[in-house]
Structure 1
Amino acid sequence: MSSAVSRPPAADSASALAHYESLLQFETDCWDVHHAISNKRQDFVLLDVRGEESYQQGHLPAAIHLPHSRISEETLAQYPAETLFVVYCAGPHCNGADKAAIRLARLQRPVKKMIGGATGWLDEGFSLEVGKNV
Structure 2
Amino acid sequence: MSAASEYFRSKLEFEIDVLGAYEQLTGGHCVLVDTRRHASWEHGHVPGALHLPTALIPAQAHVLIPAGTPVVVYSWGPGCNGSTFAALALAELGYPVKEMIGGIEYWIRNGLPLESAAGVASQSTDPLVTTD
State the alpha-carbon separation in 1 of the partners of residues 86 and 43 from structure 2. Answer: 20
Q: Is the contact between residue 49 and residue 97 of structure 1 (CA under 8 Å) also seen in structure 2?
A: yes
The offset of 1:78, in angstroms, is 4.3
Q: Go from structure 1 to structure 2 and tell me whether the alpha carbon gap of 1:79 and 1:86 turns closer, same or farther (over 3 Å shift).
A: same
The equivalent of 1:50 in structure 2 is 36
Higher radius of gyration, 1 or 2 = 1
Q: Go from structure 1 to structure 2 and tell me whether the alpha carbon gap of 1:23 and 1:75 turns closer, same or farther (over 3 Å shift).
A: closer
Q: TM-score, normalised by structure 1?
A: 0.77
1:112 pairs, out of 76, 84, 98, with 98
The offset of 1:70, in angstroms, is 0.3
Instruction: Give CA-to-partner distance per residue, 1:42-64, whole Å, 9 cap, x none.
Output: 21110000000100110011101
1:37 pairs, out of 5, 16, 25, with 25
Q: Which runs of 5+ in 1 are unaligned?
A: 1-13
Q: Is the contact between residue 26 and residue 113 of structure 1 (CA under 8 Å) also seen in structure 2?
A: yes
The equivalent of 1:123 in structure 2 is 109
2:89 pairs, out of 100, 103, 107, with 103
Specify the SS of the correspondent of 1:120. Answer: helix
From the two aligned structures, give the one with the greater helix fraction.
Answer: 2
Q: TM-score, normalised by structure 2?
A: 0.78
More relative contact order, 1 or 2 (CA 8 Å, 6+ apart):
1
Q: What is the number of residues matched between the two proteins?
A: 117
Instruction: Give CA-to-partner distance per residue, 1:89-117, whole Å, 9 cap, x none.
Output: 00011111011011111112211000000
